[in-house]
């Protein structure tokens, strides 16, 4: 039995969604960075799960199946991470397929709006960065706008063009919170609220999110993530205790060129929380 502390990184993206590394490259990078328990959590897609699990096994690190589901809650987009589910579950596959369904049309609308503000050819430009034709994302547009010289980095593209209220933003209705949690839990996994500090929710809306999530059977919340400040680690540790939720840790790594937080490099969870991986021990693949 290992006595080393667990270095869990349970949130990142591959070319199967909007990351730039393959599942195999991510597994090797996680292992090199000291990660001992890993999950690949592509947006709305589990097509990389078999490769990720096999690569983790080859690298000698533990693996939990993963996904990050786009949800519409209180007119905001909220992300729900699923961990430790059966990656062959057909209801999960169908739900994610339906969730991905609107992305193609949305991408054409994003491109039309960008063309109207003087940025032509963004659909074709974004497509060059897409690894999975069903998963064209704002991130792919951001990479193209940097390449074409409209912005210096992808963060600037979101600030100027792709965030809510900016010229290239197209509102979209994703899965419901109830459905996303149900797909995960029916497949034997744990639903986790991703990076809660990132949402533009009022205090009342955030309370409603946690309350409804819990009522639907959600069990975890990301406390330590690349999207949180240290002050937010403390805030969401408090929310985990208040709502009786297990705590997760994940970098949300997308790319060596874009992500400020690398795999496995975050601080440990604050004391006194129940780590999600202690509740998922029997779902870990070795």
Contact residues for ligand AMP, defined by CB under 6 A:
18, 43, 70, 137-139, 154-155, 158, 254
32 binds, options Mn ion, ligand AMP, none, Cβ within 5 to 8 A by partner type: none
Least separation in angstroms between residue 249's CB and ligand AMP is 18
Q: Which of 14, 65, 16, 58 is nearest to 38 (CA)?
A: 65
Residue whose entry in the numeric block shows the structure tokens 């078999």? 50
Q: Does 140 interact with Mn ion (rule: CB under 5 A)?
A: no
Whichever of 179 and 252 has its CB closer to Mn ion, that residue is 252
Whichever of 57 and 255 has its CB closer to Mn ion, that residue is 255
In terms of C-beta distances under 8 Å and separation of at least 24 residues, what long-range contacts does 1-8 make, across chains too?
2/36, 4/36, 5/268, 6/36, 6/37, 6/275, 6/277, 7/34, 7/35, 7/36, 7/37, 7/264, 8/35, 8/36, 8/37, 8/38, 8/248, 8/249, 8/250, 8/275, 8/277
Least separation in angstroms between residue 162's CB and ligand AMP is 7
Interhelix angle 90-100/177-186, rounded to 10 degrees, is 150
Coil, strand or helix at 282 = helix
By CB under 5 A, name the one of 79, 143, 228, 249 that touches Mn ion. Answer: 79
By CB under 5 A, name the one of 110, 145, 252, 261 that touches Mn ion. Answer: 252
31 binds, options Mn ion, ligand AMP, none, Cβ within 5 to 8 A by partner type: none
Whichever of 45 and 252 has its CB closer to Mn ion, that residue is 252
Whichever of 31 and 154 has its CB closer to ligand AMP, that residue is 154
Least separation in angstroms between residue 29's CB and ligand AMP is 17
């Amino acid at each position: 039995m290992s006595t080393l502390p667990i270095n869990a990184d349970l949130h990142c993206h591959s070319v199967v969604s909007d990351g730039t590394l393959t599942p195999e490259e991510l597994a090797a990078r996680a292992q090199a960075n000291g990660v001992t328990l890993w999950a690949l959590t592509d947006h709305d897609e589990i097509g990389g799960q078999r490769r990720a699990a096999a690569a983790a096994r080859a690298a000698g690190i533990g693996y939990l199946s993963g996904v990050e589901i786009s949800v519409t809650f209180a007119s905001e987009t909220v992300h729900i991470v699923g961990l430790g589910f059966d990656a062959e579950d057909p209801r999960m596959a169908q739900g994610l397929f339906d969730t991905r369904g609107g992305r193609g049309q949305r991408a054409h609308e994003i491109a039309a709006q960008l063309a109207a503000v003087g940025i032509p050819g963004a659909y074709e430009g974004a497509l060059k960065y897409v690894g999975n034709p069903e998963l064209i994302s704002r991130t792919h547009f951001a990479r193209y706008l940097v390449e074409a010289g409209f912005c210096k980095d992808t963060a600037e593209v979101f600030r100027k063009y792709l965030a809510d209220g900016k010229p290239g933003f197209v509102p979209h209705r994703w899965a419901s919170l109830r459905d996303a949690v149900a797909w995960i839990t029916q497949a034997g996994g744990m639903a986790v609220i991703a990076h809660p500090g990132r949402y533009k929710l009022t205090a009342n809306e955030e309370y409603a999110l946690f309350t409804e999530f819990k009522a639907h059977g959600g069990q975890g919340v990301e406390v330590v993530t690349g999207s949180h400040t240290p002050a937010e680690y403390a805030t969401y540790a408090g929310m985990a205790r208040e709502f009786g939720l297990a705590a997760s840790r994940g970098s949300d790594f997308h790319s060596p060129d874009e992500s400020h937080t690398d795999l496995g490099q975050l601080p440990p969870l604050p004391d006194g929380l129940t780590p999600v991986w202690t509740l998922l021990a029997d779902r870990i693949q070795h």
